[in-house]
């Protein structure tokens, strides 16, 4: 892993977060405002309206790709709904580790494509691997334990700060694209965030052309999707440690993060997150962690962390956080995101179509770029066939 970082913002921040009490009434008001604007505007016709449910990796990626891939000269409005705001689910608490390999260092199915979609699109570099012996590995990370005289180094793998990435890179990128479009007389793109709970799909159907469901582990809590999406929940706890302020020797600024039975994601010279636990079928959606849960997690994680990095015993526990992974079924190609159109399973409501981007499992960072792009293109074209069948076959009986 390379030195800790978060993806640098390419866009200057200008966060606008709207708050609404009633989704339906506000959406209707917005629709009315748009009809009025359209009636008096040059283009005529109303803009295409998309509702994206969830402002995690999946939802913000879909929103960005909807804005980016909508036809030139079109008028598009993307409303993002999230009860907790940006990164309020698993994305905001995740470890931020991004690479395209399995735990056994096997390139994942379409791993190179997923990877390319996530990192700087102008960079065609693959996420290469270097095999290191013990001495070479310890040059990178002094104090690292390398029992089999063998370590694998991923020089281009990333360790991002997930909250900063969601807010500073993804959401601002959406807003920036809207701002740029508004400078053109023929284009109109708008993207807004509504901090609102969505009870059901019915309340949105009349106001949108498409609704894209990106609710992570809570997708199945929508009444229309109960028992229709094959997701299992898995709660994970991450423990954050810091070096005491009187410790002179800090973690090297060029030293990478560590993947082992537990992973150690270093963020700066004095802070590290250690993860993660796997509690299957958990229904505890809270990001808060009780003292008991934190203690149990530390009893599991610390021995694993100190087996590879014994120096961790000098670090002090600060806090723990948790999230729920939405785990998809295992297929011949691995655990893949669940994508596709839901009209057949939930029935057509007005002229609105419904789509799912779910089951990002333990690899939301790797999957969100390509999953968002494929889905946005399919939504815009109203053509599910633009999504490879491996991502939609979960719907087959």
Ligand X SMILES: Cc1cc2nc3c(=O)[nH]c(=O)nc-3n(C[C@H](O)[C@H](O)[C@H](O)COP(=O)(O)OP(=O)(O)OC[C@H]3O[C@@H](n4cnc5c(N)ncnc54)[C@H](O)[C@@H]3O)c2cc1C
Query: Looking at beta carbons only, is 47 or 96 nearer to ligand X?
Result: 96
In this structure, are residues 50 and 77 in contact, taking their beta carbons and an 8 Å threshold? yes
Segment near ligand X (CB under 6 A); pick from 7-15, 289-297, 348-356, 363-371: 363-371
Q: Produce one character per residue of 265-292: b if its CB has 16 or more CB atoms within 10 Å, e if not.
A: bbbeeebbbbbbbebeebeebebebeee
Applying CB under 6 A, does 216 fall inside the site for ligand X? yes
Applying CB under 6 A, does 97 fall inside the site for ligand X? yes
Q: Which of 276, 279, 335, 392 binds ligand X (CB under 6 A)?
A: 276
Q: Which of 4, 47, 56, 369 binds ligand X (CB under 6 A)?
A: 56
Q: Produce one character per residue of 296-323: b if its CB has 16 or more CB atoms within 10 Å, e if not.
A: bbbebbbebbeebbebbeebeeeebbbb
In this structure, are residues 182 and 47 in contact, taking their beta carbons and an 8 Å threshold? no
Q: Which of 256, 275, 328, 372 binds ligand X (CB under 6 A)?
A: 275
# of chain residues touching ligand X (CB under 6 A) = 41
Applying CB under 6 A, does 59 fall inside the site for ligand X? yes
In the complex, the smallest distance separating the C-beta of residue 38 from ligand X, rounded to whole angstroms, is 28
Query: Looking at beta carbons only, is 47 or 236 nearer to ligand X?
Result: 236
Site map (CB under 6 A) of ligand X, residues 132-171, x = contact: ----------------------------------------
Reported in sequence order, the residue ranges of the chain that DSSP labels E, i.e. its strands, are 17-18, 48-53, 75-81, 97-98, 130-132, 151-153, 158-159, 188-194, 210-213, 232-242, 258-259, 263-266, 271-275, 279-280, 316-327, 330-331, 334-335, 338-341, 353-358
In the complex, the smallest distance separating the C-beta of residue 101 from ligand X, rounded to whole angstroms, is 12
Sign of CA dihedral 207, 212, 217, 223: positive
In the complex, the smallest distance separating the C-beta of residue 257 from ligand X, rounded to whole angstroms, is 10
Restricting to residues 227-266, name those near ligand X by CB under 6 A: 236, 238
In the complex, the smallest distance separating the C-beta of residue 95 from ligand X, rounded to whole angstroms, is 3
Applying CB under 6 A, does 84 fall inside the site for ligand X? yes
Q: Which of 1, 30, 55, 297 binds ligand X (CB under 6 A)?
A: 55
DSSP state letters, 20-37: -S-HHHHHHHHHHHHHHH
Strand partners, 274: 239, 264
Applying CB under 6 A, does 325 fall inside the site for ligand X? yes
**Within 13 Å, how many C-alpha atoms sit on residue 16's CB side?**
10
User: Which spans of this chain sit near ligand X (rule: CB under 6 A)?
Assistant: 53-59, 81-84, 88-91, 93-98, 197-198, 214-218, 236, 238, 275-276, 323, 325, 360-366
């Amino acid at each position: 892993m390379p030195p800790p970082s978060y993806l640098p913002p390419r866009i200057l921040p200008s966060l606008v977060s709207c708050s609404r009490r009633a989704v339906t009434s506000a959406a209707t008001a917005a629709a009315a405002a748009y009809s009025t604007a359209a009636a008096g505007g040059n283009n005529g016709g109303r803009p295409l309206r998309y509702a994206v449910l969830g402002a995690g990796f999946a939802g913000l990626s879909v929103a960005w790709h909807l804005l980016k891939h909508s036809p030139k000269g079109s008028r598009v409005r993307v409303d993002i709904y999230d009860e907790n705001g940006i990164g309020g689910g698993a994305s905001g608490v995740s470890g931020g580790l991004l690479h395209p390999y399995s735990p056994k260092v096997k390139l994942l199915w379409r791993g190179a494509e997923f990877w390319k979609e996530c990192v700087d699109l102008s960079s065609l570099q693959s996420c290469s691997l270097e095999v290191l012996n013990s001495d070479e590995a310890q040059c990178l990370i002094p104090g690292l334990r390398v029992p089999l005289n063998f370590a694998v180094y991923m020089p281009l793998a990333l360790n991002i700060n997930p909250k900063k990435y969601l807010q500073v890179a993804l959401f601002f990128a959406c807003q920036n694209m809207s701002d740029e479009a508004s400078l053109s007389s023929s284009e109109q793109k708008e993207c807004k965030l509504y901090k609102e709970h969505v009870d059901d799909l019915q309340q949105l159907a009349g106001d949108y052309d498409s609704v894209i469901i990106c609710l992570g582990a809570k997708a199945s809590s929508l009444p229309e999707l109960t028992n229709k999406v094959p997701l299992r929940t898995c709660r994970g706890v991450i423990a954050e440690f810091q070096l005491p302020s009187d410790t002179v020797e800090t973690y090297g600024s060029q030293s990478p993060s560590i993947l082992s039975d537990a992973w150690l994601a270093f963020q700066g010279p004095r802070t590290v997150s250690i993860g993660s636990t796997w509690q299957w079928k958990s229904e505890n959606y809270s990001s808060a962690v009780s003292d008991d849960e934190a203690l149990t997690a530390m009893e599991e994680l610390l021995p694993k962390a100190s087996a590879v990095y014994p120096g961790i015993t000098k670090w002090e526990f600060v806090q723990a956080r948790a999230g729920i992974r939405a785990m998809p079924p295992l297929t011949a190609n691995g655990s893949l995101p669940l994508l596709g159109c839901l009209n057949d399973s939930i029935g057509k409501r007005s002229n609105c179509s419904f789509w799912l981007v779910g089951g990002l499992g333990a690899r939301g960072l790797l999957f969100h770029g390509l999953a968002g792009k494929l889905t946005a293109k399919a939504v815009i074209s109203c053509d599910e066939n633009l999504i490879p069948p491996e991502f939609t076959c979960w719907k087959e009986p």
